[in-house]
Amino acid sequence: MAGLIAPLAVPQPLDVAFRRDDVYVIVMLDHPDYALIEASMRKTKDGELLRAIVTQRDHRQIDHVNSEALAQSLRLKGREVAVAPMQFETTEEFGAPHVRAAFRSWRGEDVVVDCAGFAQPSAGHGGLVDPGVYMAERGLPLMWRDRSTVARAGAGVTINGEHFPAPVRSQFLLGATGYQAVLTFGHAAAILRGGKRQWRLIARPERFAPGETWDFVGARDRRVYRILSRAGDRLTFQAEGAFVETVVGDIAGENFEIASIRLGAAPGERGGCVLEFENGKFHCAMDGAEHIVEGVYESSPLRQRLMPQHPHWAEARALDTTLTIEGEIVTLVTRVGAFA
């Protein structure tokens, strides 16, 4: 079964990212510099990992985290990261959750995200998120909510003592007002990103045996894939970094045919985001929900095109990746848009 074709020197050319949070808040802003702020909390065996993402109006994003280890992992993916003390508190008010997150921005601002839910989060307000114009020219975001609720009046962000309320979203639920802020309990996000990446390939497998690696080093990031297993021409390899990325496919001469890319879950584990490729068609599953995004693909060793067909909003976020390999230098350019 033919998968997504890539050169064996660059067996996974898609630029992907994944994150999962236990509690997640997003607030749109009417601010001269900032378009939105996200704040999240994830419980781990070592404590709570806190993260806030400030998105500027020019689409530049700056991560703020409370963990140097997480910061280093994000920097390997090319993210701009600031490490700072952070607070994240979840309480209940009038029968609905209330989240308050505070941090010091990379510009030295005191930022407080304050968001109280309109009602208890529910699966009815969960599922796959239509991102609207968010990252419209930068990638295909696949955001999945387990349980969500919109915010009630008063939600917003305070920056250096000045409050910026979330704009009105719509009238809903018998005339009640919703705001452009959402609280989610159980949030997973996979992103297939556009843009340009360039690396130097400093190591690649010789025998394609377990333990061997591909090692790509860029100016601001690094990508390392380690082979976990081989059965005939079938390889399974995994990325080192901020999240688990496992790729399964087959060696085909000087090429590699990707059968699946799993993000956020190790081999044999359930959940996470899974992209599967077979005979010109691809589909995506998230946390067990099958076929949340479907489409077709075309591929050759130096070009991969993914064209979503469902849901309708994803059609305008097709991905067209071209590779150039000149000696040790690998350049990947991914355009995002609706392609004929």
The answer, yes or no, to whether residue 36 has pLDDT greater than 80, is yes
Mean pLDDT of the chain: 90
Tell me how long the chain is. Answer: 340
For residues 314-321, give the mean pLDDT.
94
Nearest to 25 by CA among 42, 43, 38, 41: 38
Are the CB atoms for 243 and 261 separated by under 8 Å? no
Are the CB atoms for 295 and 309 separated by under 8 Å? yes
For residues 100-124, give the mean pLDDT.
94
Distance CA 266, CA 277 (A): 19
The answer, yes or no, to whether residue 282 has pLDDT greater than 50, is yes
Nearest to 8 by CA among 323, 260, 257: 257
Nearest to 96 by CA among 44, 153, 157: 153
Are the CB atoms for 63 and 70 separated by under 8 Å? no
Are the CB atoms for 51 and 87 separated by under 8 Å? no
The answer, yes or no, to whether residue 176 has pLDDT greater than 70, is no
The answer, yes or no, to whether residue 235 has pLDDT greater than 90, is yes
The answer, yes or no, to whether residue 19 has pLDDT greater than 90, is no
Nearest to 63 by CA among 49, 47, 83: 83
- Find how far residue 138's CA is from the centre of its chain: 12
Nearest to 126 by CA among 276, 4, 292: 292
Distance CA 320, CA 3 (A): 16
For residues 77-97, give the mean pLDDT.
91
Nearest to 97 by CA among 25, 190, 157, 167: 25
As given in the structure block, the two tokens for residue 8 are: 């064996």
Q: Which pLDDT belongs to residue 174?
A: 39
Q: Which pLDDT belongs to residue 59?
A: 85
Distance CA 246, CA 112 (A): 36
Q: Which pLDDT belongs to residue 178?
A: 59
Q: Which pLDDT belongs to residue 242?
A: 65
For residues 63-90, give the mean pLDDT.
90
In the chain, the amino acid numbered 123 is: A
Distance CA 104, CA 110 (A): 5
> Where residue 175 falls among pLDDT bands split at 50, 70, 90?
very low
Q: Which residue's entry shows tokens 């479907």?
A: 294
For residues 197-207, give the mean pLDDT.
95
pTM: 0.84
